[in-house]
Structure 1
Amino acid sequence: MITSCKKPQPTKKPNILFIFVDDLRPELKSFGADYISSPNIDWLAKNGMAFQRHFVNAPSCGPSRYTLLTGQYGLADNDALFNRANKVVQEDKTIDPSMPEWFRTHGYTTISVGKVSHHPGGRGGKDWNDSTKIEIPKGWDKHLMPVAKWEHPRGAMHGLAHGEIRGESGTMDVFQSTEGDDAIFPDGLITNEALTQLNELTTNNEKPFFLAVGLIKPHLPFGAPSTYYDYYAEVKLPPIKHPHKPEARTTWHGSGEFNQYNKWEKNMNTDTIFADEVRRHYAACVSYADAQAGKILAELKRTGADKNTIVVLWGDHGWHLGEYDVWGKHTLFEESLRSPLIIKYPGMKLKGFNTNAVVETLDIFPTLCDLTGVEIPDFAQGVSLKDILVDSKTKGHFAVSYQSNAASIRTETHRMTLHNDGFVELYDHRTIENETKNIADKYPEMVEELKKAIKDKMQ
């Protein structure tokens, strides 16, 4: 009898492909926006699970990505990751590993392309290209940001077509539609680099990979090739829900980020034609980002690695398109905090299922550990979503979000926002008033319960 002396080869852990999309509210057909063309992300939802009530932990790019990449609550400002990085460089032993570092130490090749941390490419300095200032030290084997005509990552972040870079505030148009292929805007370059990295990872790499790709659009300014805008030129847009500025105290703001661009002296809150034009350009950017995601997913399939790869698509926060008279993020309203989350993994049984379980960004780190068989670290403050992925009717949990001056908690039925000075907003999401009618004075026991829940979750 002939026997083999070869030892059985260990099963390779699943790869991870993580697609970040900047400023993407759930403005996708798979999340209920029927007028949007998002076939590639919708395909992912049909082959994975869409978390319809996923909430970020902070309504700004930097702190939201901090929670994702560290698995912990952090500072509420955009320098959260750089502040952490300074401590890592100083060899502060109290600083826990980041998510990419955790997977890297567990045998993964880790690569980021584009805007994964707050700065595209993950570096600081005047133009965000200083290799001595790293946002996530020890995290990535490679962290890449192609810039081409945009000269540097800062230029690409706020760039328009053909290398146009934002200069003084108010001089760059708030939106743009220009003829050309996808590479006339920075996301086309990011996608091409992601395809290159994916090809190399699946050809020459024996280790499992963690590839994170960060797309910039639909971040301001709203620029995309004209083929994407043309689809929306005659599309009838849904009405803006709750379009008026709240009379009572809230976390409302004056759309400062939006107003630093050239708007041709038009006011989107009083000019409905201009407001719709802004919304059409946002939609065009969503479709442009969707096309880039589609190219990445197609390349994953072409390599055959899709059979052993977990795919996650995540929006770093929501975005107001006129709700409550706001254009932008930075509030603690539902519009700023709810964002898309889709997870697909090998051997998944519940393909195409939606879940209405309330979950938060902090849950993604332990979920990826659970799905790959990597140890879930004790310091991760979220919970694995694997039970929900196995049974879409599984209950979720409270989701906490915060700014520097307030914190908010979302339950299945209510949202409460607690300001630092003790003022409370409480809204019932089962009512038509939604977040326009503060009912905090009517439910003091619920308010106290939710105050305690915020404290318990964030301690």
Structure 2
Amino acid sequence: MKKNIFFGVLFVCALLFTKCAAPTDEGKPNVLLICIDDLRPELNSFGASYIFSPNIDRLAENGVSFLQHFVNAPSCGPSRYTLLTGQYGPANNNALFLRASKIKQGVRIDPSMPEWFRMHGYTTVSVGKVSHYPGGRGGDDWNDSMIIEIPQAWDKHLMPVAEWKHPRGMMHGLANGEIRNNPGDMDVFQSVEGGDNIYPDGAITNEALKQLKVLAENEDKPFFLAVGIIKPHLPFGAPKVYWDMYDGVRFPEIKYPQKPEGKTTWHNSAEFMNYNRWGKDPNSDAAFADRVRRHYAACVTYADAQVGEILAELKRTGAYKNTVVVLWGDHGWHLGEHAIWGKHSLFEESLLSPMIIHYPRMKCKGTKTNAIVESLDIFPTLCDLVGLEVPKFVQGVSLKKILEKPDVTGHPAIAYKNNAWTLRTTTHRITIHKDGFVELYDHMSAEKETQNVAKQHADLVEELKSVLNAKIQ
């Protein structure tokens, strides 16, 4: 008898202290989707010990971190298209507007992810940059309510503008209402004394907190809340307190800093270079490159603070215990790798972004997975986690099995630009240009994506071409 009691106590203690303890079912889960613009996986919890990201790291401690999450396009618009539709789409930033135009013409289009949740009883709200245009509207200043980026998707799609006047002003705004008109007249980076609200993301976060409170108070209806944080998108502006955090911090050397030889998807970093750089080029000025990297890091920490505010409010309302939380970077960003400062390539640095998923009743928290997955998989995964039917039209797959067993295998990941497609496997990346030219990189080698080995591995090229064609058909 005493022996049974002893083992019973051990069992209870194990449930209390194990990372795999599961809470009780408390009804239909809510969804909180946090989208962060231009966020490469340079976070403390993803191995970058020199980065201050305590709030995202805390979420990682309570969820599963996907270390090999690849976006389907290296630009904001088409990447968000795949996230929000669960389908491959056009490669341009106007991808969602092209979809909306077809709907307006009467073409039957499969529901978007927020529309699918709305059809199944969810209140859907977006705040900030969730689709390509912050607030989800078009027009000269991106505030025309007659031009909707994702029709039928949101009960509310909100974009506070504060002193930046309109969503266009918010998107590339700097401190205290500075709006970008000509990029050459705006500094590429900046740090100004003041609180979080002196930059646009402060207003976005404040609105998100208001909406979260309202949504959480309605316990009769689950919610799907998407919040889009703009930083660390260009220009790199953040309150000075975040810049000061990196004083004296040593950054690692830039990996593979040389422009690649031969034909690749390299570009000349026009988006970055068009800003005022005081005549300096980070590819030839190491001190300037270091400053750029630190300002990017300051923006990451500023974005992390916004994530902390949102998650704190979710917990304060009590909704956290019954909410699926997804943190997603819309693509990566080169900080000098391959002599690129920006995204828009089909190299690893443009396509690899952080993703963290936490959900009620999850068994193993604080784990990391190296399974290769795509942004395309988020739509079916969220349906699976909340108990909705996974629609047959989505082209991704549910990641629930990986969330339950993070050491299981993922699947090859596809990405594309207008002139090329790429496929990433556990060992290689193949990129096929529109004219038929092939890049093949061996990720098991030290050279990784600096040496094209396509000519030496003709059989593997044909095999990977077949895999790529099978996935896109």
> TM bucket by the smaller chain?
over 0.9
Q: Which residue is equivalent to 1:395?
A: 409
User: Which stretches in structure 1 are left out of the alignment for 5+ residues?
Assistant: 1-9
Q: Which residue is equivalent to 1:192?
A: 206
Matched, 1:344 2:358: yes
1:356 to 370, 373, 392: 370
Q: Partner of 1:227: helix, strand, or coil?
A: helix
Q: Which residue is equivalent to 1:105?
A: 119
Distance 2:35 2:399 in 1: 18
Distance 1:421 1:439 in 2: 18
Would you identify which runs of 4 or more consecutive aligned residues in structure 1 move more than 6 Å?
none
CA deviations on 1:265-305 (whole Å, 9 max, x unpaired) are 00110000000000000000000000000000000000110
2:93 to 48, 72, 78: 78
Please say if residues 12 and 207 of structure 1, whose CA atoms lie closer than 8 Å, have aligned partners that are also in contact. no
Q: Which residue is equivalent to 1:240?
A: 254
Matched, 1:32 2:47: yes
Matched, 1:255 2:266: no
Q: Partner of 2:185: helix, strand, or coil?
A: coil
Q: Which residue is equivalent to 2:155?
A: 141
Measured after TM superposition, the shift of residue 205 of structure 1 is: 5.0
Please say if residues 12 and 208 of structure 1, whose CA atoms lie closer than 8 Å, have aligned partners that are also in contact. no
Matched, 1:17 2:35: no
Distance 1:279 1:164 in 2: 22
Distance 2:152 2:469 in 1: 31
Distance 2:338 2:425 in 1: 21
Matched, 1:151 2:151: no
The alignment yields a C-alpha RMSD, in angstroms, of 0.9
Q: Partner of 2:126: helix, strand, or coil?
A: strand
CA deviations on 1:415-443 (whole Å, 9 max, x unpaired) are 00000111000011111101001111111
1:219 to 233, 242, 254: 233
CA deviations on 1:234-280 (whole Å, 9 max, x unpaired) are 11111000000011211000001101100000011000000000000
Q: Partner of 1:456: helix, strand, or coil?
A: helix
Alignment of 1:161-180 (within 5 A): 161-180=175-194
Distance 1:148 1:363 in 2: 35
Q: Which residue is equivalent to 1:274?
A: 288
Please say if residues 137 and 145 of structure 2, whose CA atoms lie closer than 8 Å, have aligned partners that are also in contact. yes
1:380 to 384, 390, 394: 394
Q: Partner of 1:36: helix, strand, or coil?
A: coil
Matched, 1:290 2:304: yes
Q: Which residue is equivalent to 2:341?
A: 327
Alignment of 1:406-417 (within 5 A): 406-417=420-431
Q: Which residue is equivalent to 2:73?
A: 58
Q: Which amino acid aligns with 2:262?
A: A
Q: Which residue is equivalent to 1:43?
A: 58
Matched, 1:438 2:452: yes
Distance 1:319 1:248 in 2: 22
Matched, 1:122 2:136: yes
How many residues are matched? 449
Distance 2:352 2:218 in 1: 39
Please say if residues 112 and 142 of structure 1, whose CA atoms lie closer than 8 Å, have aligned partners that are also in contact. yes
Distance 2:160 2:219 in 1: 22
Measured after TM superposition, the shift of residue 458 of structure 1 is: 1.1
Q: Which residue is equivalent to 1:90?
A: 105
Q: Which residue is equivalent to 1:4?
A: none
Please say if residues 26 and 322 of structure 2, whose CA atoms lie closer than 8 Å, have aligned partners that are also in contact. no
Q: Partner of 1:170: helix, strand, or coil?
A: helix
Please say if residues 223 and 281 of structure 1, whose CA atoms lie closer than 8 Å, have aligned partners that are also in contact. yes
Alignment of 1:413-432 (within 5 A): 413-432=427-446
Q: Which amino acid aligns with 1:198?
A: L
Distance 1:23 1:168 in 2: 21
Measured after TM superposition, the shift of residue 12 of structure 1 is: 3.0
Identity of aligned residues (%): 69
Measured after TM superposition, the shift of residue 411 of structure 1 is: 0.2
Q: TM-score, normalised by structure 2?
A: 0.94
Distance 1:43 1:235 in 2: 22
Please say if residues 61 and 366 of structure 2, whose CA atoms lie closer than 8 Å, have aligned partners that are also in contact. yes
Matched, 1:206 2:209: no
Q: Partner of 2:287: helix, strand, or coil?
A: helix
Please say if residues 127 and 152 of structure 1, whose CA atoms lie closer than 8 Å, have aligned partners that are also in contact. yes
Distance 1:233 1:127 in 2: 37
Distance 1:370 1:352 in 2: 21
Please say if residues 101 and 140 of structure 1, whose CA atoms lie closer than 8 Å, have aligned partners that are also in contact. yes
CA deviations on 1:144-194 (whole Å, 9 max, x unpaired) are 000011000000000000000001131100000000000000100000000
CA deviations on 1:53-103 (whole Å, 9 max, x unpaired) are 00000000000000000000000000000000011122212x100000000
Q: Partner of 1:217: helix, strand, or coil?
A: coil
Please say if residues 250 and 425 of structure 1, whose CA atoms lie closer than 8 Å, have aligned partners that are also in contact. yes
Distance 1:19 1:298 in 2: 14
Q: Which amino acid aligns with 1:179?
A: E
Q: Which residue is equivalent to 1:458?
A: 472
Q: Which amino acid aligns with 1:445?
A: D
Distance 2:449 2:73 in 1: 18
Q: Which amino acid aligns with 2:206?
A: N
Q: Which amino acid aligns with 2:288?
A: F
Distance 1:165 1:400 in 2: 36
Distance 2:330 2:312 in 1: 23
Q: Which amino acid aligns with 1:122?
A: G
Please say if residues 320 and 328 of structure 1, whose CA atoms lie closer than 8 Å, have aligned partners that are also in contact. yes
